[in-house]
Every structure is written in structure tokens, then in C-alpha cells.
A and B are shown apart, each in its own frame.
Chain A
């Protein structure tokens, strides 16, 4: 029971991470397409400014919780995905530094270096996270000892790549909607148009991914057993449709919320299908890492549950406060602010 609660929490933490960091990863990846000049670029940076760091801590927490609640899975998953994870980390390092360093020297060459880092550090994580999670949904070649019998290229199979494309599109939609909220003038219009332009592509990718999931994974088994689980993919579909509807109504906060719902729905759809596995083995189902064979002791799970049930709502509360405090559109005054990015 405790293990199952932790499995749910594990999925929820990843979903929150994708929902929050998703928009700033997507926006970073789209910056070259959206920002035409220095002013635009600074609006993009400052649109993410007060949020990206707090968003990224959800990744650390999701990783930390995998370690704490399912150390067996953490060990096998992270060592199996070694090269992909290291690429992800290097990308995130360059990205984080880009925010703080870019504006500190007034030189176009210096700035363009960090703009490059922001783009790479946003696009690559979006892609890699999608590839990684699609492979987790499908299962990876781990043997009885939990040793990975593949390479980085094993992960770049059609279904994995499809997952990568889906994540990139999800995050890009999410990011352009965020910019539509935060920017004004031409940039705002461009962001709105971008969201509308990506949406049909996202729709196609989502349908193809869903169909491919039927052939490549065993996620459906749980859905055939527990009919009520259908609410999760349904949430994703509702989020996807609502986001387009709100775009048409020029209700950008609502559209962003709907796209957040889509991301959460997609993540939980996959995670719920995995149960009781956390990392299926594609070589032999018996060698999969599951909630029972890879979890921590009941005592650790109990203590951690206490911490999580108290702290996660507290974190959500103060992060929500920060979002409310900085929810306004970026103005010239914001850009003139001496501490701005």
C-alpha cells in the first residue's frame, strides 16, 4: 500500500515538473523563432526569469524521490540511461548559467553565446526527457542483475524518438502560450500565432504516439483491467481540445492552464499504465524494476510520506504566491530594472 502511494506521488512529481519546467524549456527552444531583436530576447528571458529556477527543483525532487522511495529503480534507471542523463545535465547546466550570465556583460558576442546555450539547454532536455520516458513506458533491455544491455542509440528507437518529438511539441505549445501571457505588442501576437501553428502538429503527434503506444508498449493492460483509469488519457484529450478553444477565444491564461492539463494527463497516462512497474525490462518481464522489488523499507517510506504530505503543499503554496506576484506582462519598466536579465 505504502509503495503504491509512493508510486502515485512519484508520477505526480514528474507531472508537476513537466507542467512547470515544460513552459520554460519550450520557450527557450522557441526563442530563435520568436525573438527578432535584443528587446524581444530580453522579454523572453524575463518572462521566465522569476520562475525557471524554482521549476527546475521539481526535477531534483522527482529524482530525489526516486532515490529515496525506490532506490533499486533509481540505481538501475540512472545507470542505464547514463549517457542520456549526462547530456541532459550538461544541457541544464549551460541553460541555468545562461540566465544569470547573459546580461552581465554588454557585448553582442557574449550574449549570443548564452543565447545558443539557452536554446540548446532547452531543446535538448525536452527531447531527451521525451525519449527517456517513452523508453521507460516501453521497457529497456535490463538483465536479471539490473545491468543495461544497450547503448545510447538503443534509446533512439522509433517509439523513443516519437516520445521525444511529442515532448518537444507539448513544451513548445506550453512555452508559446506562456509568452502570449507575458509579452505584449508584436511579440505577443507572434507567440499567439506560434501556439496556433504548433497545435495541429501536436494533435497529429499525440494521435500517432497514442496509436504507437498500443503496438510498442504494454501500458494498455492496466486500462483494460481498471476502466476508471481512462480518466487520465481523457484529461489529456480534454486539455488538448480546450487549449485550442481558449486560443480561439484569446483567453491565454486559460489556454495555458489547458495545456498544463494536457501535460499532466499525458504523464499520468503513461505512469498509470506502467504500474506496478517503474522500469520494465524488455528482455524478460520478470526482470523489471517494480514498486515491490525496488522500494525502500516501510519506515523510510512512512517518514518520507510525512515529509512529502506536509512540504509539497507548502512548496506549492509559496510557488503559487511567487507566480501571482510576477504574473504581470513584461513592461519597458521591467526591462529597465537594473536586476533584470
Chain B
């Protein structure tokens, strides 16, 4: 393997690992903030214990999210120096704004929150977790705006042999960024909701801390339903945006080779990139692809063969990632309806309680699959239509990247195992018992 492939694998490993922890941070920080606010406004001690219990799981998760985020920022320079040089004027500034505006806030106030239960007034303490939650979500916006620039570059001019900033607001407010932000956040909130529902269900089934976990369940079930519906609507809009702006990605997502009017969607499909066809193609839904892409059953959808071979993304992972994400998204809607319907008395349905803990990994899978579609589907471009990934890599030695890739896999593997084991252990242990006074 060459430096390019190794660097791509390394970046993939680092981002996918980082994103195992980010969504729970985004969602659970808000849920914890809501719980603590209810405690402050109503004085209900259950909500305080809930905030402490879920907050503890949040903190374990948060730590590893932070430290793996640092490596990502530095990897643009270490592994993608040509890229950094070419688009740093724009991309670098978005990351720098993220750090000064949001990262400081969350990192400072998470510590204030952890250590401040007895030092601050309840209102100040609740404010600290709100600042963490808001900062995490604001942080996501800047990162996703930066990613949106890679997906659909706007607001720049090519000058002095690089992309230079022309319109900052255009970059920050472009439709792609807004859609990507809403989509990613909705996904993150679904993940957090399923996390809370799954753990609550496990305890409810065993009759532990029933009052507390029923309250948690009720809150999470509402979130799960709202955001799983929301992500579907937003996903549809995002799909249309992809159809318009990244036709090769859309064609790869659907395994479409020939440009077709009234393009169907095949329920069963297996793409074969080498022979530019699908080896399996069955159960068509007539016109469905045209409708989903352009809102018109007869619209023409461009096939991959209309694009030069060197401009096509890897089809199989893009296609599989998309199918997996959409399939899981559909499942989340169904389960959320069920959970929402039972939210007031979840114990009346032991089957639901038995299933929910097993579903905790699924939103993780769906979110990673979504990123696979976004990033692999964007290939061969690192910045769509502007710069190829192959031209972006640093002039470094293969052995350097090979060594660090192995180190990444080892260290991240061990840390990931330790983190999930700790979360699992603390989740099973349940909330700290009420102290006798």
C-alpha cells in the first residue's frame, strides 16, 4: 500500500472511532441538561439522581471524544498537507473558529459541572451543563460547515494557486451545511434516545429504580420518535441535494449505471463495479428513484456510465452504507412509535423492554454508515470538483504512516474496549443509592 491508501485508512480509522463517541455527547448532554433543569425548577430529587447517573455515563464518553478529536485536527497537517495548504485559508479558519467559540466552552464547563455539584448554586450548576450541551452542538455546526465545504465548495475564489476565502457567510450558511447539521444532529439525538431507552428498559425489566427509569424512558421515547421522524424528512431533502450537486454519489448509492428516465429502485441489488453493472437486480419499485431524487416519477437520473471512470466513487461501500442507514432509520421509526405508545407504562410490554437493550448498537451503526456514504461517496474528490484526494496527501514516508496506522488501531482498539466496558459496567450498576442522612 502507498502513503495515499494508508493515510486514507488512518483518517478513516480516526474519524470513525471519534464518531463512536461524538453523537452520544451531543444528545446525552442535552438530555442531562433537561433532567437537571427539571430538578432545579421542581426540586424533584429523582431528576437530580437521573442527571448524575446519565451524566456519569456522559463523562466517560465525553473524555474519549475530546482526546480523539485533537488527533483529527492535527491529521490534516500531518497526513494531508497538500490539502491543508490548498484550502487552509477557508477550512483552517472554520476549525479555528470552532475551537475558540465552542471547544473552550465545553471543556471548561464540563469540569466545572463535574466538580461543582457542591460548589455552585443549583442554578449555576445547571447552567454549566447547558453551556456544555450548547457548546457541543455549536461545535458540531462548525465542523459540519467545514465538511460541507468539502462536499459542496462555495464562497471561494482560486487565487495565488489555492482556494481563498471570498464570502465567509456563504460558506457558513449554505444549504448543504444546514441540512448536514440537522441530519447529523437528529441522528445523534436518536442514538442518545435509544441509549437511554435501552438502559432504562434493562433496569425496568429487573425492577430496579422503577420511578427513575420510567421518567428517563418517557423522556427518551419522545425524543426517539420526534427525531427518527425528523431525520427521515431531512434525509429526503438531503437526498435531493445530493442528486442535484453530487450525481455520481447518488448513482453509487443506488447502483445506477445507465442514465434512466423514470428510474426504479431495486429492493434487491448487488453492484459489480468492475463490469459496470449489477450482478443482482430484483423487485423494482417503478419510478421510485426518480421520485426520491427529484420529486418526479419520470425525472431522468444520471447513471455512473455517464461519468469518466476516474470520477466514480467506490460503488459497493457507498451503496451498502446507504441501504444500511435507510433500513435502520426505518426500523427506528417503528420501534420509536412502539416505545412512545408505551411510554407511560413501559413495564406493560416486557417484550419491548427485552428488545430495547439489544438495539443500542444500531444507531451507532446507522450513523457510521451515513458517514461512509458521505465520505466514500465523495471520492475521488477530497473537495468536490476542486481537488482530488490523491493530490492532497503529504509528502511523507510510507513507513511513517504504516507505523502510526498500526499504533492507531492498537491504541484506539484498547481504549474503545475500555470505554465501552466502563459505560456498560456503570450503566448496569445503576444510579448511586440515596445516602442515609
Contact = CB atoms under 8 A, between A and B. Distances in A.
Interface of A: 49-51, 53-54, 56-57, 59-61, 63-69, 71-72, 74-79, 81-83, 85-86, 89-90, 92-97, 99-101, 104-105, 145-148, 296-297, 299-300, 303-304, 307-308, 311-312, 315, 318-319, 322, 325-326, 337-340
A79 B73 contact: no
A89 B82 CA distance: 21
A307 B97 contact: yes
Nearest to A81: B78
B77 A60 contact: no
B111 A76 contact: no
B298 interface: no
A110 to B, nearest CB: 9
A325 B119 contact: yes
B361 interface: no
A307 B81 contact: no
Contacts of B84: 67, 71, 74-75, 78
A303 B168 contact: yes
B96 A82 contact: no
A5 B64 CA distance: 35
B70 interface: yes
B219 interface: no
B89 A300 contact: yes
B115 interface: yes
Nearest to B14: A89
Interface string B299-317: 0000000000000000000
B165 A339 contact: no
A79 B60 CA distance: 32
Contacts of B107: 53-54, 56-57
Interface residues of B, number: 74
Contacts of B168: 299, 303
B358 interface: no
A315 B104 contact: yes
B395 A297 contact: no
B416 to A, nearest CB: 11
| Among all A-B residue pairs, the 10 with the closest Cβ atoms | A71-B88, A78-B77, A67-B92, A100-B63, A75-B81, A68-B96, A64-B96, A96-B67, A79-B81, A68-B92
Contacts, number: 228
Given A50-B115, A77-B77, A315-B104, 15 more contacts: A53-B108, A67-B96, A68-B95, A71-B89, A82-B79, A85-B74, A86-B78, A99-B63, A100-B63, A101-B422, A146-B81, A296-B93, A297-B89, A299-B168, A319-B104
Given A64-B96, A78-B74, A89-B74, A54 B407 contact: no
A67 B76 contact: yes
A57 B104 contact: yes
Given A89-B71, A99-B63, A296-B93, A72 B432 contact: no
Interface in B109-152: 109-112, 114-120
B90 interface: yes
B427 to A, nearest CB: 12
Contacts of B415: 93, 97
A325 B89 contact: no
A248 B90 CA distance: 51
B95 A75 contact: no
Contacts of B258: none
Given A78-B77, A319-B104, A338-B432, A104 B99 contact: no
Contacts of B59: 100
Most buried by B among A69, A90, A146, A147: A90
B395 A145 contact: yes
A315 B407 CA distance: 34
A53 B66 contact: yes
B120 to A, nearest CB: 7
Given A85-B78, A86-B78, A104-B422, A50 B100 contact: no
Interface in B405-437: 407, 411, 415, 418-419, 422, 425-426, 432
A61 B68 contact: no
Contacts of B97: 68, 304, 307
B276 interface: no
Given A54-B108, A303-B168, A60 B88 contact: no
A312 B103 CA distance: 12
Contacts of A59: 70
Contact of A101 (B63, B110, B114): B63
Contacts of A296: 88-89, 92-93, 164-165
B77 A90 contact: no
Contacts of B162: 71
A49 B89 CA distance: 36
Contacts of B118: 337
Most buried by B among A82, A146, A296, A325: A82
Contact of A322 (B88, B100, B111): B111
B107 to A, nearest CB: 4
A64 B98 contact: yes
Contacts of B407: 86, 90
A131 to B, nearest CB: 16
25 contacts: A51-B111, A54-B108, A56-B107, A63-B73, A68-B95, A77-B77, A78-B81, A79-B81, A82-B78, A82-B79, A83-B404, A85-B74, A97-B63, A99-B63, A100-B59, A296-B93, A299-B166, A299-B168, A303-B93, A304-B93, A311-B100, A315-B108, A318-B108, A339-B115, A340-B115
A323 to B, nearest CB: 10
A83 B68 contact: no
A299 B96 contact: no
Nearest to B157: A297
B88 A67 contact: yes
